[in-house]
Amino acid sequence: MAENTIITRTFQSVQELPEQTWNALLSAQTQDTPFMRHEYLAAMEQSGSATPQTGWICRVITLWQGEELLAACPIYVKTHSYGEYVFDWSWARAYEQHGLPYYPKGTLAVPFTPVPGTRLLVKAPQWRLPLVQAVQHWAQQAGLSSLHLLFGDAQDLAACEQAGWMLRSTVQFHWRNVAPTLATACAALPPEGALAALGRPGDGSEVASTLAAACAVSPPEGELSALGRPCDSSVMAPTSAARSWRDFDDFLASLNQEKRKKIRQERRKVREAGVRFKSLRGAQITPADWAFFYRCYERTYLEHGNPPYLTPEFFNAMQEHMSENWVLFIAERDGLPIASSLIAVSGDCSSISDEKPPVMQTNKTVAAIKERVAYGRYWGALERVDCLHFEACYYQPIEWCIANDIARFEGGAQGEHKMARALLPIVTPSAHWIAHPAFADAIGRFLERESEGMARYVQELQAHSPLRQSEPHEKGRIAAAFER
């Protein structure tokens, strides 16, 4: 075999690949997250959380040149659609009504983790499309009905679209540690004539009829992410006008009066109930703290009539292998813990100083912000306290992010109520390949209609922004941009 021959190898588990090799490949990506780390994916399997018994059959598709790993991605063969957060139940029902099996299908995603980030790990950009093609070929050989790359980054989606996959978008709500300006609201609007990226891939001749309809077009590298617009969210362009928040009150001052009043009332209710919070990170989180968190986490699921997706063994693995990526907030009343929330942090949070920066250093430009990201993940409570959920899941993490120069806090899937807490809408695309030609055509038409509705939905969300209104002339300029 020639030394420059590219071969495809399939593994039955990420555990069959060396941890150091996998993580080195991940670290070379533009939007790597802790959730694609070898330790995280291995813990999903070893803990019994994502296994064939729970409907997640792992395969890893890789490209090699000799002994050099060029590209890799995990794919889960699914017998259901739970734990994905991009909903295709109606597609499954349509298959069933026509006497066709929708399952098994293939999902390129992190189990139970709706966090945007790189899914296709490549040593160089030219291997991304061949990896997509290798995955598709494998799926055809395996007889899968479809493939679904969920919450991928811009490069992943471009490669999928180039391979003929269809694009779809949902909305999440993220908070940014940057004071809004007109520039941050408009910088990522697509140029006139941008391709419509929601729905089916085009041939390059179609243009978006409105800027809103093109809300899934990724901005040029280095531009800011606007409300309702996706991008490689790890990229933040420095501007002289933008700065990070000095403290929580500085952040509150950016909101309209109604939202400021509401947040202050909600925080006051928690304080007046005698609840106090402490935050722990990394090795500060003891086994007893992890055990208490799991009691809260499990209680929340059981109260909604479902067992939790993740087992205690999964969080034991996080404590043992990835403790540096977790921050735990514990609510106490009368000296006893009553609730907790757990967030993940990109990078090593144990290196963050306990001391808040002095005031003279807090009026920072965006360029000075460490591009670290926090991800809201899990919460639970053993006692009911009015507004405790908002305090534990939003206000405590946001305050912690401001104090520790975290650039962004991602609030997770769904939840329009998050907008009232100043988490703003971001479009999160996915890519889909359908094996059956007739169903591919039908689903493509469905996605075209859905994309139009999604564009209107994003505009409606924009209209209810919690931020203080711009000056009239600025507001008019923004509105005109969306109406062109």
The model's pLDDT over 126-168, given as tens digits with 9 standing for 90+, comes to: 999 999 999 999 999 999 999 999 999 999 999 999 999 999 9
Task: Please give the Cα distance from 484 to 482 (Å, whole number).
Answer: 6
Determine the pLDDT at residue 353: 56
Quick one: tokens of 169?
A: 């978008």
Q: Assess whether pLDDT exceeds 70 at residue 478.
A: no
In three-state secondary structure terms, 305 is: coil
Please state, as a whole number, how many other Cβ atoms lie within 10 Å of the Cβ of residue 354.
7
Determine the pLDDT at residue 181: 53
In three-state secondary structure terms, 130 is: helix
Residue 306 is classified by DSSP as S
With CA atoms as reference, report the closest residue to 315 among 36, 15, 49: 49
Q: Assess whether pLDDT exceeds 60 at residue 451.
A: yes
Q: Assess whether pLDDT exceeds 90 at residue 216.
A: no
Q: Assess whether pLDDT exceeds 80 at residue 397.
A: yes
Work out the pLDDT band at 3, boundaries 50, 70, 90: low
Helix (H) or strand (E) holding 148: strand 146-149
Q: Give the chain's domains with CATH numbers.
A: 248-406 (3.40.630.30)
Task: Please report which residue ranges of 212-325 form alpha helices under DSSP H.
Answer: 248-252, 257-272, 287-303, 312-321
Comparing 349 with 459, the larger pLDDT belongs to 459
Q: Which of 271-285, 349-363, 399-413, 430-444 has the lowest mean pLDDT?
A: 349-363
In three-state secondary structure terms, 192 is: coil
Determine the pLDDT at residue 347: 82
Mean pLDDT score of the chain, rounded to an integer?
84
Quick one: tokens of 418?
A: 């998050």
Please name every residue paired with 280 in a beta bridge, in sequence order, or none if there are none. Answer: 328
Task: Please give the Cα distance from 457 to 422 (Å, whole number).
Answer: 17
pTM, rounded to two decimals: 0.83
What average pLDDT score do residues 459-471 get?
A: 80
Comparing 184 with 321, the larger pLDDT belongs to 321
